[in-house]
Amino acid sequence: MKKHDGDNTAMEKNDKEARKKRIQEIRNARRNRQQIPKPEKKKKEKVEPALVLKVVALRFVIILPKLLILIGTILFLVGVMLLGLSQRESTDYNKGVYLGPILMTLGVVVLISGILGIFIRLRLKKKGIEKAKIARKYMIEKELKKQVSTVSEQVENGQMKAHYSAAEMSHSNGHKRSMYDEDTSPTPVVTITKVEVEICKPSTSYDLENEESSS
């Protein structure tokens, strides 16, 4: 009995401690929640009127040729209709004789100007794309030249030791040396080309300075 009573009291103690711990955790969580600052409301950025006008003008320039084609087609069709009504014997609509050709001519002019506008816009777009490509190519070439000059400076300053590939080197007697003739320690190889700068570690390498000193 005494043993069971001891077990019960120990369990009650553990339960009380666990409950206290849990209550403390809840209180701490509430305090932390209260301490968290509320996120500030983002202020609406003011849009500049000049930028709005620029966007509107750009959209108008894009829509204008299509609008001209539509207006020109409508004017041409109205002119044809008026001319057809004036030529009927049953109607006394004489104004169509004058208005019809005028509207047709005006419609054709507006239609042609709309088509020309589309061609001009496409040409300008094509030129812009070509200019962007040239600029991108120039930037890539500039970056590559910068990388090559950086590696060259490192080689000249002794920060990086450049080695020629054994496949490209040969002895003075004309015999090409194989990369597997000697088991030397691997050294970094710097390959500089027009397109990329590659730094790798081959299994074996060929040292030009040692070859010249031995010859």
CA–CA separation, 203 vs 93, rounded Å? Answer: 98
Identify the pLDDT of residue 43. 66
Q: How far is CA 108 from the centre of its chain?
A: 43
Q: Amino acid identity of 54?
A: K
Identify the pLDDT of residue 5. 54
Q: What is the pLDDT of residues 119-158, one digit of tens each?
A: 888 887 777 777 777 777 777 777 777 777 766 666 555 5
Identify the pLDDT of residue 7. 58
CA–CA separation, 76 vs 111, rounded Å? Answer: 9
Identify the pLDDT of residue 153. 62
Identify the pLDDT of residue 62. 80
Please identify every stretch of the chain with a pLDDT value under 50, giving residue numbers as ranges. 1-3, 159-209, 211-213, 215
Tokens of 94: 């004489």
| Structure-derived torsion over alpha carbons of residues 176, 181, 187, 190, reported in degrees to the nearest 10 | 20
Identify the pLDDT of residue 143. 78
Question: Which helix H or strand E contains 96, and what residues bound it?
Answer: helix 95-156
Indicate the pTM of the whole model: 0.38
Identify the pLDDT of residue 92. 56
Identify the pLDDT of residue 36. 55
Identify the pLDDT of residue 181. 45
> Looking up tokens 């019809």, which residue turns up?
100
Tokens of 199: 């730094």
Identify the pLDDT of residue 35. 57
Residue 203 DSSP symbol? S
CA–CA separation, 119 vs 109, rounded Å? Answer: 15
Identify the pLDDT of residue 215. 47
